[in-house]
Amino acid sequence: MFKTANNEQVTQRTLRQSITYVGIGLHNGKNVSMTVHPAEAGSGIHFLRKDVPMGEGLIPARWYNVVDTSLSTAIGNEYGFRVDTVEHLMAALSGCGVDNALIELDGPEVPIMDGSSHPFVSMIERIGTVDQDSPRHAIWIQRPIEVRDGDKYAILMPSDMPRITVEIDFEHEAIGTQILSVEMINEAFHHQVSRARTFGFAHQIEALRKQGLARGGSLRNAILVDGDRIINEEGLRFNDEFVRHKILDAFGDLALAGVPIMAHYYGRKPGHELNSKLMTQMFEDRSSWSYTTVNDFEALVGTQGPHSEEVRTNFEKSADGRS
Ligand SMILES: [Zn+2]
């Protein structure tokens, strides 16, 4: 996500060239063609709907544009146009250190691909990214920020490393209780998180389809759980693929802050709605964080310490379940 080598200026990055993805939308079930273009330093990530009247399709990928979090994260603009299921692509861009991009699509939903961020990441890695002549900024959390909803909660805590910990607890025996903590630096996102797929439950499929949702969902782009069984013939990509996907979702939702958040995110049974509330809370509670550059953050908290090596070894051990 960002470099930690000594004295190296951490600059913003964009793609070396445009990348086109074609696929089906998870919820609307329609084919969409999406091209991710390089963009100028300081511009951030924007979506642009090409299938709506000219001048009405631009949607900045920012927390204040979130319009729906019922199953995935959707952002929208003042003309009523929206883009659904942005989180897996946002996670991929953030994980690959892409700060600036313009994403054109000819439909209302980001293609679901295989249900993870991996297809996005692998193309970005193949095409490559370029450094831009501008420092990368970050939000540095200095006091905890917390949102709760019953037994669910999400907290941003001060930390010398960006880290995401998620705890899930499902009645379905195939999932059960899972907890995982990942330090989001270097290529941790690629190796530990990006391949984890979204998941759904057999008993909910019919109800979702009646609401016009999950129309594009299939065993090609989601794990289907039925009680204690995984329906997909190929099985899981990680023993704890479910909690890894929740980390992926949280990382994608946090990317809507517009810059990386230097904090430890701890989520218990988190979802897109809770993550969106957390972003709102963070921006309202302006005294709990400062806006800095990644370089200044690293210089001030002393990111190069032995601590990070120890933590890295621990979570590499925790990745043993990888298939
Ligand atoms: Zn997801």
- In three-state form (DSSP H/G/I as H, E/B as E, the rest C), the secondary structure along 208-236 is HHHCCCCCCCCCCCCEEEECCEECCCCCC
d(CA 220, CA 113): 8
* Tokens read off for 29: 């079930």
Per-residue pLDDT tens over the stretch 129-152: 999 999 999 999 999 999 999 999
Q: What is the reported pTM?
A: 0.91
Rounded distance from Cα 114 to ligand 1 centre (Å): 11
Average predicted confidence (pLDDT) for the chain: 91
Where does the pLDDT of residue 178 fall: very low under 50, low under 70, confident under 90, or very high at 90 and above? very high
* Mean pLDDT, range 188-200, rounded to an integer: 96
More confident: 196 or 320: 196
CA distances from 308 to 184, 282, 299, 311 (A): 11, 26, 15, 5
**Distance, CA of 292 to chain centre:** 22
**Is the alpha carbon torsion for 232, 25, 92, 166 positive or negative?**
negative
Rounded distance from Cα 274 to ligand 1 centre (Å): 14
* Mean pLDDT, range 261-273, rounded to an integer: 98
Looking up tokens 């972003």, which residue turns up?
A: 279
Residue 4 pLDDT more than 80?
Answer: no
Determine the pLDDT at residue 303.
Answer: 57
Strand partners, 4: none
Residue 279 belongs to what H/E stretch? helix 272-284
Rounded distance from Cα 254 to ligand 1 centre (Å): 13
Rounded distance from Cα 99 to ligand 1 centre (Å): 21
Rounded distance from Cα 141 to ligand 1 centre (Å): 25
Catalytic residue among 190, 245, 264, 272: 272
CA distances from 231 to 9, 220, 239, 246 (A): 47, 11, 15, 20
d(CA 262, CA 292): 10
Rounded distance from Cα 196 to ligand 1 centre (Å): 9
Rounded distance from Cα 69 to ligand 1 centre (Å): 11
DSSP letter for 198, please.
P
d(CA 218, CA 158): 39
Rounded distance from Cα 248 to ligand 1 centre (Å): 7
Note if 27 is an active site residue. Answer: no
Per-residue pLDDT tens over the stretch 18-38: 999 999 999 889 999 999 999
Rounded distance from Cα 133 to ligand 1 centre (Å): 33
d(CA 223, CA 234): 10
Which DSSP string corresponds to 41-94? TT--EEEEESSS-TTS-EEE--GGGEEE-SSS-EEE-TTS-EEB--HHHHHHHH
Tell me if 164 sits within 8 A of 250, measured CB to CB.
yes
Residue 106 pLDDT more than 90?
Answer: yes
Where does the pLDDT of residue 205 fall: very low under 50, low under 70, confident under 90, or very high at 90 and above? confident
